[in-house]
Structure 1
């Protein structure tokens, strides 16, 4: 029995070592990225690799604009919804400092009822919720787990007003306006400037010198435009307002630093760091978008998929992991981390067509992770290497 146990343990160790892929060489990564760009026709792509909580590779490929200027590791790129992960990291620091409680009603932080605040184009029209007291049940945890009950944004509603589609906290449905509401609570309830807080608590901490929640004039000298699905070019948007849902500009070098610091838990208590990537709420839909869709029957739900705080968490062949995507008409970003070995891949693409290669590129670096690509991208046809 002892010999059998030893053999069993050795076999398990070998399986684990096989699943834990070695970090590819730069030459190998370059070749795989080139194949991915050829297959998808993507014009620009940047990749960072983190191993044992340290940045080990930062690479960029292709062009940053239609003129053919090279995409570099310090080129300014749109972070899109990766902003939400940096925002959640900031929020958790406030929780560690007892300035915010994840499970306290947002009403406890506001000087007057939420619907009584005048409409402000920096946020959402909270006045839409007048007469509906369900807003009082909303907590920071609910907002960070996309379970407030809102559509993604109020302006996609037929009447361009904010509505509850289900009881707060009862299920997952992606909502940028939920993040904006937590930003409002921090700015109006705690009297903090979110842009300044994220600059101090995240960007300065991790040496992210080319990252900001608002447009900076110096970004113009090395800026990435984007390519849409049809191959047309979209100019980089100079965002003039801090938006927790997605206003961050960054670079692949800066996102590498953030990813390494995040997976190490730097700047957070051990409990706070663990809370971010802890399964908080089951995910019950077949895909992430559209954000408001029927829940699957219990037997068809992916049991290992859940909302974390600002990220989505999963379990796969290498254990527990988390990820966050970011997307618009000309941007595709992904960030996948495995807690075992503190290993991550960050991909920023200024061409939305590159998204079809993300599963293969992540697999090439990390091995099979179990990341829920179909849930994230729906019916997209992914590129697979021969």
Structure 2
């Protein structure tokens, strides 16, 4: 064990300086550290991404790592590569890799119905009592949970009926489900009589040298942790998980998580049989979007990129080989990881900003040359904002009226804010697209301002989520 930990330390901590060499991309091109830095800074600044961490693996070796922006903007605390981030759904592949090791050890069979591992029928458990009367729960396997084909909703609270249900025969269709991951965690802990935290520590954290990763909040994280930020870059409450959730209670760092990805790429702790199953298509994805995919009639042609799910990761074909990928998303947290084992390359992006997904498509493309399935992932590109002088911003300020309500635009600490109390809009950031056009990020609302003979704005034409009307200046 000591030799294993030491080798992990040497492989991932003692790394060559990315500033002294070019970093090879999967498409054959190269980038310097300075070029990467320039791309990241420009995108973050344009899209108002509060904080971000990036790590790149090239030729199976650490090639670039850097933290950007704020861990806590309100306190002016900067991110570091050792700053703890909430991992959100980046926890799921790590859980999957743990389960695959248990399958390799003969502890669990990926294709054996999960209920056979439990002492009583699934509907007799409080969390699953709503499945009574639908015997399809007897079909669900560990493979179904890891490839998202259980038939469960993502989360029962998001279900239209706010209850648990099976929406299609397990194993026949893809539909992303955190509930499926949680069911498998319950079975794994029942079979092993151990907590997932203990199992993950044995199978993943210790062997891969992940000293700042846990499914539970640890006192050591208090030394350096990030908080999430919303679209307006306001800081959000930091959750400190005291219960293990395989689907998303994990805390980690950019350095630790790439240790995991690097180990996976090198087949560590998994033989060819289970590694091959994890990273070969286990179910074809024909849904139009990743989430809200319970409607089996919602068919899209994803065959051009061979979009599918393996066991714990999404898969698609690039011009440079098959890629495996995983996203993470929570309030104030947005992450993306992608690896192409054939090219021995990987990229992980971790962000504590709700604006980060708007730059992921462009950022991944510029750093790797790969176009990700952004429409399926519902990634909407950022809108560029203009850098206007204070006197130009002040021209928008005032009270703007239409027959239904008044709208106030003000300038606060160099930022434009809009509010309309009558329709429940609190002071909210509004952004200049140019010197006569403003837009909101939290909803599809644009305001086109029109000048009068005196050169001042006298009215605004609103495009409010498809509805058009005029506002006139009254103050």
**1:172 aligns to what?**
174
Separation in structure 1 between the aligned mates of residue 365 and residue 300 of structure 2, nearest angstrom: 29
Report the Cα offset of residue 250 of structure 1. 0.4
**2:132 aligns to what?**
130
**1:14 aligns to what?**
none
- Aligned residues of 1:207 and 1:257 also touching (Cα < 8 A): yes
Secondary structure of the 1:340 match is helix
**1:2-36 Cα distance to aligned partner (Å, 9 max, x none):** xxxxxxxxxxxxxxx99623452222211111011
Normalised by the size of structure 1, how large is the TM-score? 0.89
Report the Cα offset of residue 365 of structure 1. 2.2
**1:263-298 Cα distance to aligned partner (Å, 9 max, x none):** 111111122112111111010111112243354446
- Aligned residues of 1:23 and 1:365 also touching (Cα < 8 A): no
Q: Which moved more, 1:257-266 or 1:187-196?
A: 187-196
Structure 1 unpaired stretches of 5+: 1-16, 120-124
Larger radius of gyration: 2
Secondary structure of the 1:353 match is coil
Report the Cα offset of residue 300 of structure 1. 6.8
Separation in structure 2 between the aligned mates of residue 81 and residue 184 of structure 1, nearest angstrom: 17
**1:374 aligns to what?**
375
Structure-2 change in CA distance of 1:232 and 1:170 (3 Å): same
1:111 aligns with one of 103, 112, 119: 119
**2:68 aligns to what?**
61
1:140 aligns with one of 136, 139, 142: 142
1:161 aligns with one of 144, 158, 163: 163
1:327 aligns with one of 323, 326, 329: 329
Report the Cα offset of residue 360 of structure 1. 1.9
**2:12 aligns to what?**
none
Separation in structure 1 between the aligned mates of residue 283 and residue 247 of structure 2, nearest angstrom: 20
Separation in structure 2 between the aligned mates of residue 362 and residue 299 of structure 1, nearest angstrom: 23
- Aligned residues of 2:229 and 2:236 also touching (Cα < 8 A): yes
**1:71 aligns to what?**
79
Structure-2 change in CA distance of 1:227 and 1:298 (3 Å): closer
Count, aligned residues: 360
Structure with more relative contact order (C-alpha pairs < 8 Å, separation 6 or more): 1
**2:39 aligns to what?**
32
Structure-2 change in CA distance of 1:96 and 1:315 (3 Å): same
Q: Which moved more, 1:238-247 or 1:153-162?
A: 153-162
Aligned Cα root-mean-square deviation (Å): 1.9
Structure 2 unpaired stretches of 5+: 1-23, 385-475
2:196 aligns with one of 194, 197, 215: 194
- Structure with bigger strand share is 2
Report the Cα offset of residue 371 of structure 1. 2.4
Secondary structure of the 1:161 match is coil
- Aligned residues of 1:223 and 1:236 also touching (Cα < 8 A): no
Report the Cα offset of residue 84 of structure 1. 0.3
**1:310 aligns to what?**
312
- Structure with bigger helix share is 1
**1:42 aligns to what?**
49
Separation in structure 2 between the aligned mates of residue 19 and residue 217 of structure 1, nearest angstrom: 39
**2:365 aligns to what?**
363
